[in-house]
Every structure is written in structure tokens, then in C-alpha cells.
Amino acid sequence: MSKRPSVLAIIPARGGSRGIPRKNVRLLCGKPLIAYTIETALSSKLIDRVVVSTEDEEIAGISKEYGAEVIKRPEELARDDSPTIDVVMHVLNWFEEKNEYFDIVVLLEPTSPLRKENDLDSAVRLFIQNIDEADSLISLGEIHLENPHIVKTVEGGVVKPLIGTTRRFYQRQQLPKAYFPYGVVYMSKAETLKKYRTFYQERTIPYLIERWQNYEIDDVCDLICVEAILTDRLQSRKEV
């Protein structure tokens, strides 16, 4: 691409939540959860538009207050079992009906608020630098205690390794590295995203995040941990 690609960031945020009621507007350190993702996206120098997709009026109001555009999604895309990719396609179609097109689509999960200030621009730059060899990018965090080579399962009341292997690992450092995808950032060329309808494509490159970022808020335990990390980082900034 000769000129800088146009980049659209989509933040999906529905009103319902099983684990934590009204999760996306829950206050963390005095700020709605979704606000952290909106502010980080808006601070990016490489993201051109920041859109929140929601069916919820309160989320829409808060999103606009923090500076994001809002696209109202239909109720059928706001159920517990509604695939996120359908939400992304709805936003892309909304823009294309208005003859607005983007080269790169970024998906930012509001339940992964632990982003460094430069994460999004670093990820976009990495993707653009590899644009001829890569079609998508996902954020990965290295896992340790949850490494599948030491995780167990229970079959018929008997403990067995999740991955069948005769090799024993006595130290964490001996384990093959394993990673889990977190919602810090997903990214794809718009054309391949529409073709494959997934961010996991044949030519997907990783964007590695740090250990303290390895959280997605699904329950109260996650919420407590994330708020503690946010509190610590906010305090550290005040001390600088």
C-alpha cells in the first residue's frame, strides 16, 4: 500500500452480561469499564475512526460522552450467543452503505482494558510493516500455570494429562511456550475479514502482550484483579 491504510476500530459492547450485571458500564477506579478502551483507541495516531456497537442506551450515552461514535446494533446481535464477527460485519456494512470503506479493521474488547498507551499504534505499525505477508493480527499473552502441557483433565474419576505425552516437566522453564489470545487487539485487512469472517486466518501474526495484561473480565475475580492493576498503574503515574 503506497499511502497509509485507513483504520477502523470497533468496540463491541452489549448491555447484557451473565457474570457481572451491566459489566461494560461498571465503574473501575471511578471510570466506566468501556471508557478505558475508548480513550486508548482515541489516543491512537493511526486509528482513523472509533466506533462502539451497542443496543444499549446507557452504553451509547457513555460512549458518546467519552468521544466515540455509536452504531446501534439490532437486538438479534445483542444476545448471549450472538457471534462477535456478526457485529463486526454489521458495522462494516453500515459504513459501506454510506460509501465509506476502510483498509484495516481493529476489534477492541472492552473487557480487556489493560492496554499500554502505545499498544494500539505498535500493533498497527507491526501489521502494516508485514502487510504483504500477513492478513490479520491477534494479541497473545504467554500462559504459565495454565500451560496445556501440565493442565490435567478428569476422565472416569481419574486424573489424566490434557495432552497425552510421556515427557515430564519439572520446571516451568522447561515447558514449551504456549499463548492465549486476549482481547487487547484483533486486527485484519477488511477484504480478508469479509472473505473468511474470522480474525484467525492462515496468515495471522502475533502481537505479544505482557503478563499483567493477561486478563479478560468475565467474573468478579477478574474484576478485582484488573482494578488492582489499574490502581497500581494510576498510582505509579502520579509518582513519576
Q: What is the DSSP string of 147-184?
A: -TTT-EEEETTEEEESS--S----SGGGSPPEEEEEEE
Confidence of residue 240 (pLDDT cuts 50, 70, 90): very low
Higher-confidence residue of 12 and 2: namely 12
pTM for the structure as a whole: 0.91
**CATH code linked to domain 7-140+178-239:** 3.90.550.10
Indicate if the pLDDT at residue 35 is higher than 60. yes
**Per-residue pLDDT tens over the stretch 66-118:** 999 999 999 999 998 899 999 999 999 999 999 999 999 999 999 999 999 99
Amino acid at residue number 189: K
**Per-residue pLDDT tens over the stretch 118-173:** 999 999 999 999 999 999 999 999 988 788 878 889 999 999 888 876 566 556 67
Neighbouring C-beta atoms of residue 217, cutoff 10 Å: 27
**Per-residue pLDDT tens over the stretch 194-223:** 999 999 999 999 999 999 999 999 999 999
77 SS3 class: helix
Residue 208 near residue 140 (C-beta atoms within 8 A): yes
User: What integer pLDDT is reported at residue 170 of this predicted model?
Assistant: 55
Indicate if the pLDDT at residue 4 is higher than 60. yes
User: What integer pLDDT is reported at residue 169 of this predicted model?
Assistant: 58
Q: Which three cell numbers stand for residue 2?
A: 503506497
User: What integer pLDDT is reported at residue 228 of this predicted model?
Assistant: 96
Which alpha helices (DSSP H) does 76-219 contain, by range?
A: 84-96, 119-129, 190-196
